Amino acid sequence: MKIYNTLTKRKDEFYPQSVGKVTMYVCGPTVYNLIHIGNARPMIVFDAFRRFLEYKGLEVIYVSNFTDVDDKIIKKAQEEGVDSSVISERYIEECKKDMASLNIKPATVHPKATEEIPEMLNMIDTLVLKNHAYVGEDGTVYFRARSFKEYGKLSHKNLDELEGGNRSLLISGEDQKEDPLDFVLWKPKKEGEPSWHSFYCEGRPGWHIECSAMSRKYLGETIDIHAGGEDLIFPHHENEIAQSECVNDCNFARYWMHNAFLNIDNKKMSKSAGNFFTVRDILRRYEPMVLRFFMLSAHYRSPLNFSDELMEAAKNSLDRIRTCAKKLENAMKMSDGDKLARQEYKIMDGMKEFRMRFEEAMSDDNNTADAISVIFELVKYINVNMIEVTTKEGFRQMYDELILLNNILGIIIVEKPEVLDSDIEKLIEERQQARKDKNFARADEIRDELLKKGIVLEDTREGVTWKRA
């Protein structure tokens, strides 16, 4: 499997540091408003990648933070006359709702910055002790960028280029920095702001140290994949590397994945520019899976321009897949036969090619665009060959294959058919009879059949009980 690594500027062969387990950190949103569809892009594309890794049998420990202390949150809280935690909690909840609508799996851990302050201060103390950081007169703690020899390695810029953009701060004399490249690790509180006690001053953390601390706490000193939007490469991720590597004396992240922007009229969608649609805005007009499909229809490293035409195209494409699935569902209902008919073997065999090509696309740097094209070829194959299929088993195999590929991308949600209690009872009775008759094969078959419907049987001394999985 290959991943385009921003650090090496090439597609690198991916292998996790521990066999069978991948650690992944994706920078999450600052929660002061509903998320816009630009914020949803990294959530969706990296969720699809996570699902693919899981499908390949890897355990993925996925951490995605909420930045819940920030100037914008504080400003909004002051406008509303409430505590800033009221704002952040509100938008964390709303964000989670949007994620659920878009079929984004919850992270293994969703840490909140405000709950991880001790870990941040711990790292800051180490940086000061090691002389990588210094304390200004008012208690602000700065990272000494030039003390990290590799500063600039992620953004591939030399220090003078990077310094250019920051020089104005020093000239204006507003700053106590030794060098324009230095950045804040801890800053003193201002009136009405949330703050925490520290050795340096009563204050709050800088943004970059949050992610260094949270990824270290939940994923360890070296993580496999660190991801986020490409606007985070500099300064956020560059600074995360500097902080983490200076504290831990080891490599911070082995692969860096960055998604390109979601644009509108070819300009980056952003809250500050005001050219944004929230996920909620879009979900009033389209169902969530259309938005998810739209996001995955482009490669994650290509800019994607939002437009109604593309959303309509996404809707039509998704409909084509669903129509095919529906046809197969109906055919399954109308047919019998739990063994393939002779002519069906070849058709099922021909279907294997699509799975292989789908995997090839996803293994080539998360190419969801090509993976979707393969799904369409599978749809076409099914539509053409369905005429020759007669057995329930044949239709089922086609259906399962189609759903499996869509599930890896998370673009079809299969509703579990609701099973009636009376149906279950009947099957349980039949199974008990089968066991009495020593027909254990049938008894096992019924158990499996129920399991597929989400019903787990338990044989107890008192008899058989069941529960929904």
Which residues are at the interface with ligand AMP (CB under 6 A)? 27, 29-30, 38-39, 41-42, 228-229, 231-232, 259, 261-262, 268-270
By beta-carbon proximity to ligand AMP, the closer residue of 27 and 382 is 27
Contacts of 309 (CB under 8 A, 6+ apart): none
Neighbours of 35 (CB within 10 A): 23
* Partner that binds at residue 205, options Zn ion, ligand AMP, none, CB closer than 5 to 8 Å by kind: none
By beta-carbon proximity to ligand AMP, the closer residue of 37 and 411 is 37
Give me the least distance between CB of 214 and ligand AMP, in Å please.
Answer: 14
Give me the least distance between CB of 30 and ligand AMP, in Å please.
Answer: 4
Give me the least distance between CB of 27 and ligand AMP, in Å please.
Answer: 5
By beta-carbon proximity to Zn ion, the closer residue of 123 and 211 is 211
Does residue 313 sit in helix, strand or coil? helix
Distance CA 228, CA 217 (A): 19
Are 428 and 420 a contacting pair, CB within 8 Å?
A: no
* Partner that binds at residue 261, options ligand AMP, Zn ion, none, CB closer than 5 to 8 Å by kind: ligand AMP
User: DSSP secondary structure string, 272-305?
Assistant: TTT---BHHHHHTTS-HHHHHHHHHTS-TTS-EE
Give me the least distance between CB of 211 and Zn ion, in Å please.
Answer: 3
Distance CA 393, CA 419 (A): 21
Contacts of 193 (CB under 8 A, 6+ apart): 74, 84, 204
* Partner that binds at residue 211, options ligand AMP, Zn ion, none, CB closer than 5 to 8 Å by kind: Zn ion
CA-based max dimension of the chain: 91
- 85: amino acid identity, one letter: S
Does residue 136 sit in helix, strand or coil? coil
* Partner that binds at residue 23, options Zn ion, ligand AMP, none, CB closer than 5 to 8 Å by kind: none
* Partner that binds at residue 29, options ligand AMP, Zn ion, none, CB closer than 5 to 8 Å by kind: ligand AMP
Give me the least distance between CB of 428 and ligand AMP, in Å please.
Answer: 50
**133 Rama sector, left if φ>0, alpha if ψ -120 to 50, beta otherwise:** beta
By beta-carbon proximity to ligand AMP, the closer residue of 268 and 396 is 268
Neighbours of 224 (CB within 10 A): 24
* Partner that binds at residue 269, options Zn ion, ligand AMP, none, CB closer than 5 to 8 Å by kind: ligand AMP
Task: State how far Cα 63 lies from the chain centre.
Answer: 9
- Quick one: which of 228, 268, 272, 271 has its CA closest to 35? 271
Give me the least distance between CB of 24 and Zn ion, in Å please.
Answer: 13
* Partner that binds at residue 354, options Zn ion, ligand AMP, none, CB closer than 5 to 8 Å by kind: none
Does residue 167 sit in helix, strand or coil? helix
Residue nearest ligand AMP, CB atom distance: 229
Give me the least distance between CB of 188 and ligand AMP, in Å please.
Answer: 23
DSSP 18: B
Are 301 and 307 a contacting pair, CB within 8 Å?
A: no
By beta-carbon proximity to ligand AMP, the closer residue of 133 and 232 is 232
Q: What is the dihedral of CA 36, 37, 39, 44, to 10 degrees?
A: 140
Q: How many residues make up the chain in this entry?
A: 469
* Partner that binds at residue 38, options ligand AMP, Zn ion, none, CB closer than 5 to 8 Å by kind: ligand AMP
Give me the least distance between CB of 36 and ligand AMP, in Å please.
Answer: 7
By beta-carbon proximity to Zn ion, the closer residue of 162 and 253 is 253
By beta-carbon proximity to ligand AMP, the closer residue of 42 and 410 is 42
Contacts of 195 (CB under 8 A, 6+ apart): 189, 202, 203, 204
Does residue 316 sit in helix, strand or coil? helix
Distance CA 3, CA 346 (A): 35
Does residue 311 sit in helix, strand or coil? helix
Contacts of 359 (CB under 8 A, 6+ apart): none
**Tokens encoding 270:** 């952003």
By beta-carbon proximity to ligand AMP, the closer residue of 136 and 228 is 228
Contact footprint for Zn ion (CB under 5 A): 27, 211
Give me the least distance between CB of 173 and ligand AMP, in Å please.
Answer: 29
Give me the least distance between CB of 261 and ligand AMP, in Å please.
Answer: 4
By beta-carbon proximity to ligand AMP, the closer residue of 29 and 152 is 29
Based on DSSP, count helices (H) and strands (E) in the chain, helices before strands.
16, 15
The dihedral through the CA atoms of 179, 181, 182, 188 has a sign that is: positive
By beta-carbon proximity to Zn ion, the closer residue of 92 and 211 is 211
* Partner that binds at residue 262, options ligand AMP, Zn ion, none, CB closer than 5 to 8 Å by kind: ligand AMP
By beta-carbon proximity to ligand AMP, the closer residue of 163 and 231 is 231
Give me the least distance between CB of 37 and ligand AMP, in Å please.
Answer: 8
